[in-house]
């Protein structure tokens, strides 16, 4: 077995040591409600400063099963702002607007664009594709009604991390099929082919690096529900075609079971003629973008997304 400690940055090792000393139970060893609270508290302790932005609005979006809670962050009160629809991570089971807020604020502040995040429905109460249905409904609403919030329906991007990256990849494909033109898809370490066993999965899923095989198996069991059938929307790698999908910015953590899935997806998109910018941060782990207090690469990743959005939106 590989000694993964040799791959990690010093700051990442120190952070993992702090987590180990805390002795907290793993998420998959907790009831779902407690796991959600634990994840929210963990992100709150590690995310870093929440920067001030000029505008923060809570609102709701009509969804297929009722109102979808949403929050907007904007760097100013200008009209016709481009917007990133952000879909949080958490294995389709945990996470929410609060767990991506620090990053969304930074991206809004640094990019000059607005960011909208939603609380899509979570499993196991609402198994896949409920969260995806909410996510696509939110995109469609931003296209049709975003102008009511001062947003530019002609300049929209979608993005997310982990499970949210999976949703974003699927939404980008669905947008293409619906004739919705996206400026960019932002994918942080997406799970796009969980049926594959990659080398990074073999090396890193057996280590105590925040995301391991038991936790991934628990997430997947909760998310799929008893009636799940094979669905490319859960595995966007398996979509019939990737041609014509939005340009992609893909950010990966080197020491992450999902790293090779991200690399493979970048190649699939490139082979289909899709412009792709791929960045792999050495020595960091899954969810590092929510650990800016301890892992400086997390803040670097926020800044990189802001630059990519500025370019995509022509800011």
**Do residues 50 and 105 make contact, with C-beta atoms less than 8 angstroms apart?**
yes
What is the rounded distance in angstroms from the CA atom of residue 262 to the CA atom of residue 268?
10
78 among known catalytic residues: no
Catalytic, out of 28, 88, 286, 302: 286
Catalytic, out of 135, 162, 200, 205: 162
148 among known catalytic residues: no
302 among known catalytic residues: no
Which H, E and C letters describe 296-314, residue by residue? Answer: HHHHHHHHHHHHHHHHHHC
What is the rounded distance in angstroms from the CA atom of residue 111 to the CA atom of residue 85?
14
Closest to 103 in 3D by CA, of 265, 288, 232, 238: 288
**Do residues 87 and 168 make contact, with C-beta atoms less than 8 angstroms apart?**
yes
Closest to 264 in 3D by CA, of 165, 193, 172, 164: 193
Residues in contact with 152: Cβ distance below 8 Å, sequence separation at least 6, in sequence order: 80, 81, 82, 83, 146
Catalytic, out of 152, 161, 256, 260: 256
* DSSP three-state, residue 293: coil
Which residues are the active-site residues? 162, 256, 286
């Amino acid at each position: 077995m590989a000694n993964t400690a040799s791959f990690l940055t010093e700051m990442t090792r120190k952070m993992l040591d702090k987590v180990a000393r805390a002795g907290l139970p793993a998420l998959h060893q907790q009831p779902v409600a407690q796991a959600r609270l634990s994840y929210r508290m963990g992100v709150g302790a590690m995310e870093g400063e929440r920067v001030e932005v000029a505008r923060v609005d809570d609102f709701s979006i009509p969804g297929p099963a009722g109102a979808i809670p949403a929050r907007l962050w904007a760097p100013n009160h200008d009209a016709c702002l481009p917007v990133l629809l952000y879909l949080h991570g958490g294995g389709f089971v945990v996470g929410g607007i609060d767990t991506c807020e620090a990053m969304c604020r930074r991206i809004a502040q640094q990019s000059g664009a607005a960011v909208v995040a939603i609380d899509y429905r979570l499993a196991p109460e609402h198994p896949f594709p409920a969260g995806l249905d909410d996510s696509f409904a939110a995109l469609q609403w931003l296209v049709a009604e975003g102008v009511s919030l001062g947003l530019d329906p002609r300049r929209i991007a979608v993005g997310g991390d982990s499970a949210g990256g999976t949703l974003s990849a699927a939404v980008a494909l669905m947008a293409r099929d619906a004739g919705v033109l996206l400026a960019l898809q932002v994918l942080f370490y997406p799970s796009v082919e969980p049926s594959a066993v990659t080398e990074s999965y073999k090396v890193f899923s057996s280590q105590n690096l925040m995301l391991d095989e038991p936790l991934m198996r628990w997430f997947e069991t909760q998310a799929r529900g008893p009636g799940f059938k094979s669905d490319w929307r859960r595995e966007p790698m398996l979509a019939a075609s990737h041609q014509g999908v939005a340009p992609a910015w893909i950010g990966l953590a080197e020491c992450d079971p999902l790293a090779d899935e991200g690399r493979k997806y970048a190649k699939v998109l490139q082979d289909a003629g899709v412009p792709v910018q791929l960045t792999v941060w050495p020595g960091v782990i899954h969810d590092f973008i929510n650990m800016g207090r301890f892992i400086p690469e997390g803040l670097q990743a926020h800044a990189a997304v802001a630059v990519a959005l500025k370019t995509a939106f022509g800011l």
